[in-house]
Structure 1
Amino acid sequence: MNQSKLYISPSVVIESMRDNGYKNTAYATAELIDNSIQAGATCVRLVCFEKYKTRGKQIEQIAIIDDGKGMPSDVLHLALEFGGSKHREDEKGMGKFGMGLPNSSVSQCRLTEVWSWTNPEEILYTFLDIDKIKNKELESIPVPIKKDLPEHIKQAFNGEIPNSGTVVLWSNLDRLHWKTSKSIKLHTEALIGRIYRRQLSEESKYNENRNPLRIVFQCYEFNDLTKSYLEISSESFKANDPLYLYSDTTLPHLPAPLSKVSAFAVKDFKNIEVEYEEGKFSTVTIRTSTIKPEVAKILRSTTGDKIGSTIWGRHMKKNIGLSVVRANRELDLISDYYIADSNYLDRYLGIEVEFEPVLDQFFGVTNNKQSANKIKYIPLDVLASEVIDTDGKTKAELESEYLDYLSEEAPVDAKIADINSKIKQMIVDAYNSIKSIGFDGLKNTSDNVADNSKIPTDPVNIQATKAESNRAEEFEIEGDEAEPDVEGIKELLINEGMPEEEVEKTIQEIITNNLKVKFEYRDGLDDFFDIASFQGFTLIRINTAHSFYSKFMQNANEDERNLLNLCLAAWGRMEKEVPPNIMKECRNTRRRWSNMLEEYLGEAVE
């Protein structure tokens, strides 16, 4: 008798399946939030459970908890199978691919446990354990059994378990991008707020006949005395709208009397019909928005600088790009789709393309729902030059002739090229309308410097900036994501007597090179080196009058000097990371060491 065999051995391929292309932990959690929304949840909780370890607090578990309709046993059994979800049957749903729960989970952890119920008296449980699959202890997802929720999960519900819902719990977190709840929140809130802006905003048309969705970030810390978890924070995410058409978002309230007004208004929109099957059509919508003249005017009145340097301008800079929206949630923000202006006036316009899941194949949507591969800007005249004669033809003629060529040879590609061309033209129109406002004040200090006039900087500044950014990926602190505090740096340098022209040059050097760390050599300091920390920036000054500088650094080669500078940058980062109660002691230690260094060098031969 022939015995059937599995087409693919789970124990062999499970590790390979973990490399599924999620950009980071925030995108992986978004997959689970999709499932919760599709299940009708009104509240989704992203919960981190932390414990103190040798290197400080670290996340032990992450849970996504919702009050959706829950899953009966057969649906729950399928939910952890790759491609087994019932969501595949919903053509317009967010989670159509049926891969989200297992795909996102294995990308972050080795153990995924799921509880779900349609009746709180009968909570069902199953799991996906990578180690057991690798050891051939499991060949398939276990049939769900009745199992009560763990006590710390019950606690996250604030004492009231809903009539139906689902809990996904990640443990053995070996692939998290960030190790602490603070870092998870800092990296997640802007992204989650942007992805689900329509669900979160009260002003969204999506919520006209329903209450806005609540997505709550909660953090629990393990108490060694009580052997239980205690809640240390709970905060609801706000919408983050790159088109700035809502007023209830993460954008700080505008100055009075515009505090309850949206910053942008709709500039234009286009609807394009696409045939995805014979006789079946779906609509693609492109819309643009631009800053309101009255908003630009009132923001300019708040600063002696350009409005790009205000808190509102810095927020807008982080949302530059084409927002790709599918099933009322954002897939991607393509920051370099088509930048109309090297001076970043683009921050004052929004652009969005929206389509239904039936067009996934048409636009090349990936199964992890992070991008649509066919939405990209490539100049049509460049493509035309590869297939048609270009001699003596204008750019417009080339584009038109190329689209005619595609319509005959590849109709689908022609439609995609036409949509991309329309997106680009709408960006240009929106950009031109901003220029016509006549506010030169739209440009901030950094915007006035074009790429070809970038001020040179010492390579060690770049190297230290990269090291700082890498450190922040794992141990982020408040201010890491912020733009450098230009005004604070200016004030320090001017107070120290630096000429105004030199101050401006230094500021431009920092901005045009995106520096987070900069070294400066000067005399008159009390110690061998001094650290000035600002929001998003660290200035390290080295005392050229100190004996260590004259007896070593001045005569060292470039590599040796750079290595020492990086050691000082590491000290500077350490001072920024330590708790406030020992920060003063760290600075005193730096001062004592500096004085001691002077003593020990003494009469050392130079």
Structure 2
Amino acid sequence: MGDSVTGEGSNYRIVSPSLTVKAMRDSGYKNTAYALAELIDNSIDAEAGLVQVFACEKPFEGATQTRYRVETIAVLDDGKGMDKDLLRRALKYGDGLGDDRNRIGRFGMGLPNSSMSQCTRVDVWSWTNTAANALWTYLDLEEIAAGRDDVPEPELRRVPAYWDGLSEAPLGRSGTLVVWSNLDRVKWHGAGATLRNTAELIGRIYRHYLKDGAVTIKMAPVREGEVIDDEKKGWYYAEPNDPLYLMDKSGTPEPFNSTPMFEPFGVGNEGEPGVYPFPILTPDGTKHTVTVRASIARPEARRPNVPGHPWPDSANPNRDGGWQPWGKHAARNIGISLVRQGRELDLDSSWAIGYNPVERWWGLEVDFPPELDEVFGVTNNKQTATVFSSLSDFDWFTEKDSDETPKAFRDRLKEFGDPREPLLALAQFLVELLKKMRRKLDQQTFGSRGGRQRHDKDVTSKATDAVKRRHEDGHTGTTDRLAKDATEADKRQEQLAALTERHHVDEHTAQSLVDEALENDWRVRWISSPQDSSAFFNIDLLAGMLQVSFNTEHPLHSKLMAVLEDVPENANEAELRQRLARATETFKLLIFSWARMEDEIPSKKDRRVIADARSDWGRYARDFIEDGSEEE
């Protein structure tokens, strides 16, 4: 066949070396940390108990001072190591260790694909009989661009003493070392800060392995041949980072580093609450089980006044949970976590609703077996599952024919071989589950909205004062008459029943709301809850309590209330102005809708009744808004 190195000049080569190099480099890794995860996959598959990641800095002269940037990245493990044939195959695209579905790195693309996405040269040492007898080989993009199309034959070469010296423990009888150099696509600058952030991501990807103690992953910034010293002696430990926040011990900020921040959501079964086994049929009719795990925040994660669960002294009780360290941590873990073979593929945020702060307070994990790789659309670089992600915005009514039943629609997709069909039922299940979770989360913070808490109390106090003034002026309402002969115990019981039974507020939150109202002698309460009504708000007339419930199912809630209240923490001035403009537009449309209602009333007498009601409402609005300050 001739020399393995073929020149670029061949006119009939299927893919030119230059295009091959480009394909290697543009492999779609989100960042360097995700590329590193491919190497850690290989280490775990090699049964490594310890994986060490080194980011080695080199000084360079900046404009005003000496600065440092990462020039080499290495991953060292104590796994089984590789023989000559296995090592050479590991650097071959599309071969690796073969199509073994029991491996998390089964695609045979990880080592060369991830490495060349970040650097132009990768060197690999692997040994099965001490590091002194290691085998070494490499890939170099310059050589590949020049026409090299085979992996250099491994040769016996001892692991350099430099890496042996950096290792936290002496190199064992077996292991592998991968070194990236010529890092032309790595965005890292300072190694220390970068590794801290990378440890959080790695902790999430491998959280199940870390929790079970199957592997320890440590990261060290290196400067001039020495691990940079700090309070942890330079090492950053990857701690379990659970987006479901159900693990007892994790890297979540205190007080939730040693106790779960979330709780299982839904019935599930007594042995495994919040766990849903979901059957999936592959196109060939084989049945597999996908495990869905669901969780939502405990009330104490969002509110500082839950009995028995005070926030730490370092927390700001005047800001809501989202502004606290644990809330900001949860904001980095928004989405549905896709887990394959115990390893997270992706945290798919496409299922979350924009910047709605409540999205951080739920967790969903979809754990599927490797046999469903094709059904989910798992990519070679294990960055995502394309078919599953495409269903986050699936619109049933847009895609089906007007007279088509759900079964007929699914049958048609199956007949056409639509790749989404096997996952449609799962997607619908997740959509409905998320609706229930969001509804429960909305109910958790009634009357206790953290950063808005002071504002909410001011509004409640002003409205209460207006109610009391009108009562003193001889205007008696139903709530006043009901309160006349009611004891405090009667009021408490009636309000608790209304909140928990009518509006499905959890008992802890309802108790807190009632205690606060009775303590402050408040006569009004504003809550939001889903209601089967065309009205955008409804009224509960209770003994001494005028309770207004805003209908979250009405478009006015998302177009007005959510726009004004659910403001992202990082919203800039332009975004705030845009929100005010949208709220103003919605308010004007609300008034126009009333005007059109009057316009369409055919009876002059009925129009006069509605006009009188409008005038009466205007007088009441004046009394409440002016809060008595205009009185003589």
Q: Report the residue type matching 1:345 in the other structure.
A: V
Choose which of 289, 296, 307 in structure 2 pairs with 1:290. 296
**TM-score computed with the length of structure 1 as normaliser:** 0.66
Superposed displacement of residue 193, structure 1: 1.2
> Which residue number corresponds to residue 130 of structure 1?
141
Q: Where do 5+ consecutive residues of structure 2 fail to align?
A: 7-12, 266-273, 312-316, 457-563, 576-632
User: C-alpha deviations, 1:560-587, integer Å up to 9, x for none?
Assistant: xxxxxxxxxxxxxxxxxxxxxxxxxxxx
Q: What is the Cα deviation at residue 147 of structure 1?
A: 0.5
Name the CA distance, whole Å, in 1 between partners of 2:250 and 2:393. Answer: 37
Report the equivalent of 1:315: 329
What are the within-5 Å matches in structure 2 for residues 199-348 of structure 1?
A: 199-201=209-211, 207=212, 211-222=213-224, 228-232=225-229, 233-254=234-255, 260-267=258-265, 268-276=274-282, 278=284, 280-298=286-304, 301-302=310-311, 303-339=317-353, 343-348=356-361
Q: Does the 8 Å contact 1:308/1:444 carry over to 2?
A: no
Q: State the match for 2:43 in structure 1.
A: 36
Using the alignment, how far apart are the partners of 1:403 and 1:371 within structure 2?
A: 25
Moved more, 402-411 or 68-77: 402-411
Instruction: Label 1:379 to 1:95 Cα distance change in 2 as closer, same or farther (>3 A).
Output: closer
Q: Cα 1:16–1:406, aligned 2, differ >3 Å: closer, same or farther?
A: closer
Asked if the contact 1:345/1:443 (under 8 Å) is kept, the reply is no
Structure 1 residue 272 displacement after superposition? 2.1
Distance across 2 between alignment mates of 1:27 and 1:512: 28
Q: 1:421 aligns with which of 424, 428, 449?
A: 428
Match of 1:511 in 2: 570
Give the residue type in structure 2 aligned to 1:246: M
Distance (Å, rounded) in 1 between the aligned partners of 2:248 and 2:568: 35
SS at match of 1:92: coil
Structure 1: tracts of 5 or more residues without a match: 202-206, 223-227, 391-396, 450-504, 517-606
Q: Give the whole-Å Cα distance in 1 for the aligned partners of 2:149 and 2:421.
A: 46
| 1:205-248: CA deviation from partner (whole Å, max 9, x where unpaired) | xx2xxx342110112111xxxxx545431121111111001132
Opposite residue 153 of structure 2, the aligned amino acid is V
Q: Secondary structure at the match of 1:376?
A: helix
Letter in structure 2 aligned against 1:68: G
Q: Which amino acid in structure 2 is aligned with residue 318 of structure 1?
A: R
Residue 269 of structure 1 and its aligned partner are, at CA, apart by 2.8
Asked whether the equivalents of residues 377 and 424 of structure 1 are also in contact (C-alpha less than 8 Å), the reply is no
Deviation of 1:281 (Å): 3.1
Q: 1 CA distance for matches of 2:68 and 2:56? A: 10
Using the alignment, how far apart are the partners of 1:259 and 1:19 within structure 2? 38
Pair 1:184–1:250, CA change in 2 (3 A):
same
- Structure 2 residue 80 is matched with structure 1 residue 64: no
| CA 1:410–1:299: 2 relative to 1, 3 Å | farther
Shift in CA distance, 181/245, structure 1 to aligned 2, threshold 3 Å: same
Cα distance, 1:438 vs. partner? Answer: 5.2
Contact 2:302/2:445 (8 A) holds in 1: no
Instruction: Say if 1:36 and 1:2 are closer, same or farther in 2 by CA, change over 3 A.
Output: closer
CA contact (8 A) 1:58 1:180 kept: yes
Aligned to 1:181: 191
How far 1:313 moved relative to its partner?
A: 1.5
> 1:355 matched to which residue of 2?
368
Give the letter for the 1:285 counterpart: T
CA distance in 2, matches of 1:321, 1:289: 12
Residue aligning to 1:371: 384
In structure 1, what is the Cα distance between the partners aligned to 2:3 and 2:164? 45
Indicate the RMSD between aligned Cα atoms, in angstroms. Answer: 3.2
Question: Partners in 1 of 2:180 and 2:379 — Cα distance?
Answer: 24
Distance 1:510 1:95 in 2: 38
The structure with more radius of gyration: 2
**Are the equivalent residues in 2 in contact too, given 1:114–1:167 (CA < 8 A)?**
yes
* Counterpart AA for 1:350: G
- Three-state SS of the structure 2 residue aligned to 1:441 is coil
Match of 2:401 among 385, 388, 392: 388
Deviation, 1:345, is 1.4
Distance in 2 between residues matched to 1:123 and 1:239, nearest whole Å: 32
1:174-208 CA-partner distances (Å, limit 9, x unpaired)? 1102223134314412211111111112xxxxx2x
| From 192, 204, 210, the counterpart of 1:194 | 204
Deviates more, 1:292-301 or 1:183-192: 292-301
Are 2:319 and 2:450, in contact at CA under 8 Å, matched by a contact in 1?
no
Deviation at 1:39, TM superposition (A): 0.7
In structure 2, C-alpha distance between the alignment counterparts of 1:425 and 1:311, rounded to whole Å: 30
- TM-superposed CA distance for 1:359, in Å, is 1.1
Identity of aligned residues (%): 35
1:127 is paired with a residue of what secondary structure? strand
8 Å Cα contact 1:338-1:424 kept in structure 2: no
Return closer, same or farther for 1:304/1:21 CA change in 2, 3 Å cut-off: same
Q: CA deviation at 1:135?
A: 2.8
Shift of 1:274: 2.4
Instruction: Give the whole-Å Cα distance in 1 for the aligned partners of 2:301 and 2:573.
Output: 28
- 1:298-338: CA deviation from partner (whole Å, max 9, x where unpaired): 57753122222211222112211111111111111112314
- For residues 387 and 294 of structure 1, the distance between their equivalents in structure 2, rounded to whole angstroms, comes to 44
**Do the aligned residues in 1 keep the contact of 2:330 with 2:361 (CA within 8 Å)?**
yes
Across the two proteins, how many residue pairs are aligned to each other? 434
Q: What secondary structure is seen at the aligned counterpart in 2 of 1:252?
A: coil
Q: For residue 432 of structure 1, report the CA deviation from its aligned partner.
A: 2.1
Residue of structure 2 in register with 1:571 after alignment: none
Partner deviation per Cα, 1:65-119 (whole Å, 9 max, x = no partner): 1111110111001010001211x33212210100000000000011100000111
Note the C-alpha offset of 1:260.
3.0
Quickly say closer, same or farther: Cα 1:7–1:284, change in 2 above 3 A.
Answer: same
